[in-house]
Amino acid sequence: MSAENTEIPAGGGSLADRISKPDDAKPADTSLTGKEDGASGLAQGSAELEEPDYNVEVKLSDLQADPNNPLFSIKTFEDLGLDERILKGLSTMNFRKPSKVQERALPLLMSNPPKNLVGQSQSGTGKTAAFVLNVLSRLDLSDEMRTQPQALILAPTRELARQIVGVIQIMGQFLDGLTIGTAVPADASARPSKMEAAVVVGTPGTVQDMIKKRVMNPSALKVLVLDEADNMLDQQGLGDQCIRAKAIIPRTVQIVLFSATFPAHVYRYAGKFAPNANEITLQHEELTVEGIKQLYMDCGSDEEKYQNLVQLYGLLTVGSSIIFVRTRHSAAEIERRMVAEGHTVASLTGGVEGSHRDAVIDSFRSGEAKVLITTNVLARGIDVSTVSLVVNYDIPEEYTAGQRTHTPDFQTYLHRIGRTGRFGRIGVAISFVSNRDEWEMLRKIQEHFQCTIDRIDTSDWDEVEEIIKKTIKNTRAQAGFNQGA
């Protein structure tokens, strides 16, 4: 395990083995640049984007907290008294005003003395920018401290960790002496190196391993952030690793948990992980992403699923698209067949070694690869502004002891379709249904989220193309969208 350099060498090893490139493809920019900000792409923070209407509920651990205090809810970033250099970084990202969640979260996050926070907010509402602002505002970047880890941000996947590093790089670009370390699983040939950075972003197991091997010193930590906290606290292995990591850091750290969803049992656990925390929540029924038109295709067999996917290829490349499948084997097989037929696709699963995964996701971000086939490893947190279409090739389902249950995984469905329609943009999610079990799972998803998932008639592909293109072009997908209009 080692600290990963925040710049990935161009070419990324065997990227050519993972992607078939069209003749006119541009070389991938595989370094972490300003394209990965918290809301979406560079200069596309919250400017000129329509934010969904929702209410933010605040529960204060300190009952004496004054809601009439001018900082109870802020309307501008300047209200926070931020360092001018941080404000300049925000301006570079085109964050002109706080989102609704940021209005309430930032005063609570940045209060002194620091208080723990549990924040539940849907994807695309600016929660990454919120916790990064808090982290940057608490750093001591003097000569003797800038190489001491002062903030630790944990994420469930290397892709999300690297994305967060990108946000910190852009937001903190004018802070002299800012050092950022990435602690993710290293390739087998890599050698451990000492972590000397003020901000460390990584995955729980790697961070725990680095602390245990004394290549990372946690004694100066001030802030611990868990992004996609429900996933990490609930997932076997990751939860234990988070607990062990917390046990070996100072008890005085400010603990911040952020996630789009908090199932009841995880919420109770979060209360123990971050005691006496302020809370920010959205009502559960408001978590279905509004701006996403949800559709389904009735497929007669698994082979018909594949043929429908091939028919969709022209639409998949209008912007960028993510195809979610159940297994690594399915991802590899679909990639193999599509590449053999001359289509440009990439696949990314947990079975791919680190540097290869980095190269694939960077190519997807840069637009070199427009269609990405993946498992649930990318269902959470990954933010690529050009994604306009998500395909659930397989309906997400719960597993018990490694066995399929034929029960829908509602939260994974929500996270998957949330990869499109980011921060008020338009998106389309299409689910493939090929048997009674899948149809029943889709029906339960509709009931759970109280939403309508419309059927697409695949007998006329010209009409299918017209429906999807028209939806993407709309300024905002409306609940009453008329397919025939």
Pairwise CA distance, residues 418 & 428, whole Å: 10
| Three-class DSSP category at 393 | coil
Mean pLDDT, the chain, integer? 76
Q: Is the peptide bond before 113 cis (omega within 30 degrees of 0)?
A: yes
pLDDT tier, 13 (very low <50, low <70, confident <90, very high otherwise): very low
Residue 191 pLDDT greater than 80, yes or no: no
Indicate the SS3 state at residue 179: coil
Core vs surface per residue 326-353: b (16+ CB within 10 A) or e: bebebbbebbeebbeeebbbbbbbeebe
Give the tokens for residue 186. 């290293």
- Of these ranges, 131-140, 154-163, 260-269, the one predicted with the greatest mean pLDDT is 131-140
Which pTM does this prediction carry?
0.64
- What whole-number percentage of the chain has pLDDT above 70? 73
Alpha helix positions (H), 252-295 = 264-273
HSE toward the beta carbon, residue 260, CA cutoff 13 A: 24
| Two tokens, residue 195 | 């972590």
**Structure confidence at residue 464 (pLDDT):** 86
CA dihedral 370, 376, 381, 382 (to 10 degrees): -20
pLDDT above 60 for 26: no
pLDDT of residue 255: 92
Contacts of 2 (CB under 8 A, 6+ apart): 186, 190, 191, 192, 193, 210, 215
Q: Which residues contact 86 (CB under 8 A, 6 or more apart)?
A: 133, 136, 137, 171, 172, 174, 175
Residue type, 71: L
Residue 45 in this model has a pLDDT that exceeds 70: no
CA distance 238 to 391: 27
Residues 201-214: pLDDT tens digits? Answer: 998 888 888 888 89
What's the pLDDT score for residue 55?
A: 60
Q: How far is CA 463 from the centre of its chain?
A: 33
Q: Reply yes or no on whether the pLDDT at 300 is more than 80.
A: yes
- How high is the pLDDT of residue 87? 92
pLDDT given at position 4: 43
pLDDT-derived band at 42 (thresholds 50, 70, 90) equals: very low
The lowest-confidence range among 119-123, 157-161, 223-227, 441-445 is: 119-123
pLDDT in tens, 174-183: 999 999 999 9
Give the per-residue pLDDT at 56: 64
Distance (Å, whole) CA 338 – CA 398 = 28
Confidence (pLDDT) at 196: 92
Of 44 and 394, the one with more pLDDT: 394
Here the tokens at position 290 are 């509004």
**The residue type at 364:** F
173-207 core/surface letters (b: 16 or more CB in 10 A; e: else): eebeebbbbbbbbbeeeeeeeebbbbbbbbbbbbb
Confidence of residue 327 (pLDDT cuts 50, 70, 90): confident
Look at 86-90, 276-280, 450-454, 475-479 and tell me which has the smallest mean pLDDT: 475-479
The answer, yes or no, to whether residue 137 has pLDDT greater than 60, is yes
Reading the block at residue 281, the tokens are 């929540």
Handedness of CA 181, 186, 189, 191 (dihedral sign): positive
What's the whole-number mean pLDDT along residues 354-377?
A: 82
Sign of the CA dihedral with 330 first, then 156, 277, and 137 last = negative
User: Are 389 and 430 within 8 A, CB to CB?
Assistant: yes
pLDDT surpasses 80 at 333: yes
Beta pairing class for 371-374 and 320-324: parallel
Strand bridging mode 254-259 / 223-227? parallel
How far apart are the C-alpha atoms of 263 and 284, rounded to whole Å?
10
Please, which residues bridge with residue 392 across strands?
324, 431
324 pairs with which residues across the strands?
374, 392
Where b means 16+ CB within 10 Å and e means fewer, 81-104 reads ebeeebbebbebbbbeebbbbbbb
